[in-house]
């Protein structure tokens, strides 16, 4: 038995399409919280061992653009912004895949779409904000620990070029303008093994099938006027 479909649609032929706005209630009382908005898909509650069915999806899709002007006729954006705070911390954004009692947790894919017939694929930026009084936020990429298996890998790959160079990989530590302080350091360390050999550290330049292989350069620049430990 299938429940009835509930659909709201606002259609305008000549002007902008109608908006759909869902607002929870505000509060003006001290120590209370504004209302929340819950959007929950349906559960698959059958415990049948052959095929108990899946939980429902939540799909958020921005509007299409069918116009012919590649400069201004753009698809709609999807914007997710946590709440502003006048004195406390701003709201957090948490995106987490589903847990499974007996199997793997859900995978997460964060990607830009391929380009069309012309143009480039969309860029991706992951960054923390600037700080005006204190340190800026850290950025961590960590894979989980494993029981009865190997730890997860972290792979950084740049793209292949067919008529131009391959993509570059830059790892730069931060600068500092403070007196008697050093720039950030770059640490690359292989893993420790408590009952076997430690992990290897491999640095290798690229192969050149038609010409020379790439060079490897390790050097320190010239020092400034005064060493960091000089008053």
Nearest to 113 by CA among 78, 155, 154, 68: 78
Q: Which residues contact 84 (CB under 8 A, 6 or more apart)?
A: 90, 91
In-domain check, residue 66: yes
In-domain check, residue 7: yes
In-domain check, residue 93: yes
Cα(120)–Cα(76) distance, rounded to whole angstroms? Answer: 18
- Tell me the pLDDT tens digit for each residue of 52-106: 889 999 999 998 899 889 889 999 999 999 999 999 999 999 999 999 999 999 9
Domain that holds residue 18: 1-98
In-domain check, residue 72: yes
In-domain check, residue 87: yes
Region label for 31, one of left (φ > 0), alpha (ψ between -120 and 50) or beta (otherwise): left
In-domain check, residue 137: no
Instruction: Indicate yes or no: pTM above 0.85.
Output: no
- Tell me the pLDDT tens digit for each residue of 182-202: 999 999 999 999 999 999 999
Give the percent of the chain with pLDDT over 90: 62
In-domain check, residue 78: yes
The count of structural domains within the chain is: 1
In-domain check, residue 14: yes
């Amino acid at each position: 038995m299938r429940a009835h479909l509930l659909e709201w649609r606002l259609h305008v032929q000549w002007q902008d399409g109608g908006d759909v706005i869902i607002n929870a209630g505000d509060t003006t009382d001290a120590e209370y919280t504004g209302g929340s908005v819950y959007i929950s898909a349906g559960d698959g509650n059958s415990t049948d061992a052959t095929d108990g069915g899946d939980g429902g999806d939540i799909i958020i899709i921005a509007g299409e653009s069918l116009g012919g002007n590649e400069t201004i006729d753009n698809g709609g954006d999807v914007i997710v912004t946590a709440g502003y705070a006048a004195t406390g911390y701003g709201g957090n954004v948490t995106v987490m895949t589903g847990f499974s009692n007996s199997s793997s947790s859900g995978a997460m894919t964060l990607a830009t779409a391929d380009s069309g017939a012309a143009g480039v694929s969309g860029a991706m930026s992951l960054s923390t904000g600037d700080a005006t009084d204190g340190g800026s936020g850290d950025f961590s990429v960590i894979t989980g620990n494993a029981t009865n298996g190997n730890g997860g890998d972290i792979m950084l790959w740049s793209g292949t070029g067919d008529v131009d160079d391959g993509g570059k990989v830059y790892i730069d530590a931060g600068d500092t303008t403070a007196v008697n302080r050093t720039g950030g350091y770059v640490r690359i360390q292989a893993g420790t093994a408590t009952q076997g050999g430690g992990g290897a550290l491999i640095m290798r330049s690229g192969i050149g099938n038609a010409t020379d292989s790439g060079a490897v350069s390790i050097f320190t620049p010239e020092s400034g006027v005064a060493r960091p430990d000089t008053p």
